[in-house]
Chains A and B, each alone.
Chain A
Amino acid sequence: AQSVAQPEDQVNVAEGNPLTVKCTYSVSGNPYLFWYVQYPNRGLQFLLKYITGDNLVKGSYGFEAEFNKSQTSFHLKKPSALVSDSALYFCAVRPRGGSTLGRLYFGRGTQLTVWP
């Protein structure tokens, strides 16, 4: 069965400090990997994705994510956090090929709080 784990329900970090939001997955093959952000009472917004190539992917708002195949992880990072980064972050995976027809499997989400 496909699964995505975000081991931390909450991450708290001071503004200006680096942040990491963790994600590991158990999906057959080499899946496509995504990060989304959700602000209160809004829909999910795409941040970045890994398809192939360089293990470090850069996305919107200064976020980046590091793909590690051996650890089946795709951690979200930002060198210097902003208070406005406070939101709910979701990791998602999509298996390649097969019969999944484009559906994404989501983690439970990690609430990021950046304090001034």
Chain B
Amino acid sequence: NAGVTQTPKFRILKIGQSMTLQCAQDMNHNYMYWYRQDPGMGLKLIYYSVGAGITDKGEVPNGYNVSRSTTEDFPLRLELAAPSQTSVYFCASTLERESGELFFGEGSRLTVL
């Protein structure tokens, strides 16, 4: 099993550019999440999805967008990149909404210059 796969692993963007971070899971999990990790700040939830076609905002959604057209894929779109979006982004999924542990991807390190 591949688990949760994120691409790309590293990316450098110029201010104002746009890009999409890809996330795919092969565990048939309905629940998927995008977090960003900043040093000393833990993980902050950007967006989440409870199934195909259903998404909602987390704590820090500004400047991002998501879609969930299939159970497997949950891409994160950055529009008009800003230096404040320099971070490490993690995609995660879980089978059980309450007691289930999250499975994380390896992360995507994004730098905006």
Contact = CB atoms under 8 A, between A and B. Distances in A.
Interface stretch (B14-22, B65-73, B102-110): B102-110
B43 A90 contact: yes
Given A42-B107, A108-B41, A101 B99 contact: no
Label chain A's interface by main secondary structure.
loop
Interface residues of A, number: 25
Given A44-B102, A45-B104, A51-B99, A102 B42 contact: no
Interface of A: 4, 9, 32, 34, 36, 41-46, 49, 51, 90, 94, 96-97, 101-104, 106-109
Interface of B: 4, 31, 33, 35, 40-43, 45, 48, 50, 56, 58, 90, 92, 94, 96-107
